[in-house]
Structure 1
Amino acid sequence: MLDLVQLRSFLAVQQTGSFTRAAESLGLGQSTVSQHIQRLEGALGRRLIFRDTHRVSLTPDGEVLAGHARAMLSIDAQVFGLFAENKLRGQLRLGVSEDFATSRLTAVLEDFIRAYPSVDLQLTVALSGVLYQMQDSGEIDLVFAKRRLGDQRGRLVYREPLIWLARDPQQLADPSTPVPLIAFPPPSITRNIALEALNANRIPWRIVCTCSSLSGLTAAARAGMGVLVQPRSMAPAGLKEIAPGVLPPLEDVEFVLVPRIGADEALVTALSNEIFSKVGGNLEIA
């Protein structure tokens, strides 16, 4: 009998083209995903994934399995929804910060949609500050975004350090040159933290790229235009962390869940639990 957990890891590798990205999307360790694939290949007696130092791709047997795996997981979700004691219905508007959306959001959405097919889930991806503004105006029911230390808004999921990133950190060796900063536009939390740290240490800076999309900022950083600030676990590939002491330390940020007052409590709890299961821990919402 095939293991659905192993099949889910197999499809994540197929979709992302990487064991590392698959593990991140599932909220698992890379070694765990590798074990799932090895056990699946052992159970079937076939090699399913071709991997070398340059790429990861499906073998012909893997291509055959992929279609059946998607069908099996779909049936599993349908059966779960059919026999669930509380079959949720209704609309839920989710707001997610830009940086989380590019890392582990896919796994959260995929599993929630499978488990609750009757829920009309609507997604907004934006800067944390913008999401809070939209929620205050009644446009979003649940926000998963960053807050600064000391902010009491929402319920803590996890805390993470911010780091300075660059394609070539050695280019920052000249302290007389203003730090070329690549940043989200206001009201970005990471932008504010970076500028406060530089100003507090009287380090000159200049903005060389502003973009509300992390993909745009990442492209500029990978091109060598300047320095990008991101949570450590969300550091884009191709960028290196700048060694401590070159630039001032940055305060941590906290990722939190913030429900809108009056939002459907059952829907908010179900999606919050899904997020915690992927990136935090067990959640109990009063």
Structure 2
Amino acid sequence: MDIDALRSFLAFVETGSFTRAAKQVNRTQSAISMQMKKLEQDVNKSLFEKQGRLLSLSYDGQVFARYAKQLVQLHDDTLLQMNTAKPTTLLRLGCPDDYAESVLPTLVKLLHTQFTNLDLQINCTPSNRVKLMIDSGHLDLGVITRSPDSEEGYMLESAQGFWVYSPQHQAQQLQPLPIAIFQRDCRFHQATLEGLHKQSRDFKIIACCGSACALKGIVKSGIAISAMNELSIGDLPKLIDSNLPKLPTTDVVLVRANNQQNPVSDVFCADLSQQYRTNHRRDINTQPIV
């Protein structure tokens, strides 16, 4: 149905006359008559009836009038919204679930302070997968654990590695020592195996996976102990045991895709990195002393 015809119909509803309706919408009376005939064809109903010399709405016309008002209003609201809506910035962010509860919330908050109308799409996947998606252009921005001695990315924070366990199950006392570790590309995978081998420690790998959530579930159930950095352990208690190998410190950094479509630049990432570290220090300093 033509929106102008609906406006003409509503003008008739308001004025009760084709003549006055034509003046209201700045059309000729014959043009109004043609529009009304077309509307009646569209709905397959007679919208008008004669009462003597006067033309009035039929029963179907009265029903149609309610819907016509809604259609015109919806049309006008749609155009208003589309014409006044602020441009949306699509940003695709990758982040391992290791940092979903620690790094990610602060980063999301900072990103929304930089963009007034941000469409933030987050993909939780391991660091190696984030790198691949950055390189292939499927992500704009990524949070990763960078390799040792690498200057890749923009520093967010460093995190010390810890052994974690379930106090209710004491899996660390079992022989051979049951461990659940990250996949081979993770720094803790190599550090854990090398450390245990150097100690000639008898151990058994219960599982290797790329999900911190999965590792924490295994540890909480008492099946194994695990090694992860302090940003990933959540509410798991640290296992302080001098008989276990010391774990390394890891750097968590921000990386960006190098393509023209990326809404964030290197300068933006450097500034975001600085804001994150400033915000993180403030969060630490304002934590209550127990």
Q: Distance in 2 between matches of 1:203 and 1:109?
A: 42
Structure 1 pair 88/255, CA: closer, same or farther in 2 (3 Å)? farther
- 1:136 matched to 2:139: no
Q: Distance in 2 between matches of 1:130 and 1:214?
A: 14
Where do residues 1-286 of structure 1 align in structure 2 (5 Å cutoff)?
A: 90-110=89-109, 112-113=111-112, 116-168=115-167, 170-173=170-173, 177-237=175-235, 239-262=236-259, 263=262, 264-265=264-265, 268=269, 272=273, 275-279=276-280
Structure 1 pair 167/212, CA: closer, same or farther in 2 (3 Å)? same
Contact 1:128 / 1:189 at 8 angstroms: preserved in 2? no
In structure 1, list runs of 5 or more residues that go unmatched.
1-86, 282-286
1:108 partner SS? helix
Q: Distance in 1 between matches of 2:156 and 2:270?
A: 14
Q: Structure 1 vs Structure 2: percent identity of aligned residues?
A: 22
Contact 1:130 / 1:187 at 8 angstroms: preserved in 2? no
Give 1:279's aligned amino acid. Answer: H
1:240 partner SS? coil
Structure 1 pair 167/139, CA: closer, same or farther in 2 (3 Å)? same
CA shift, 1:107, in A, is 4.1
Give 1:257's aligned amino acid. Answer: L
Structure 1 pair 204/197, CA: closer, same or farther in 2 (3 Å)? same
CA shift, 1:271, in A, is 5.0
Which structure 1 residue ranges, 4+ long, deviate > 6 Å from structure 2?
none
CA shift, 1:151, in A, is 1.7
Contact 1:108 / 1:274 at 8 angstroms: preserved in 2? no
What's 2:41 paired with?
none
Give 1:100's aligned amino acid. Answer: Y
Q: Distance in 1 between matches of 2:95 and 2:275?
A: 14
Q: Under a length normalisation based on structure 1, what TM-score does the superposition of the two structures give?
A: 0.57
Q: Which has the larger radius of gyration?
A: 2
Q: CA RMSD of the aligned region, Å? A: 3.0
Contact 1:180 / 1:207 at 8 angstroms: preserved in 2? yes
Give 1:164's aligned amino acid. Answer: W
In structure 2, list runs of 5 or more residues that go unmatched.
1-85, 283-290
1:161 partner SS? strand
Q: Distance in 1 between matches of 2:220 and 2:103?
A: 21
Total equivalences in the alignment? 193
CA shift, 1:132, in A, is 1.3
CA shift, 1:227, in A, is 0.8
Structure 1 pair 91/206, CA: closer, same or farther in 2 (3 Å)? same
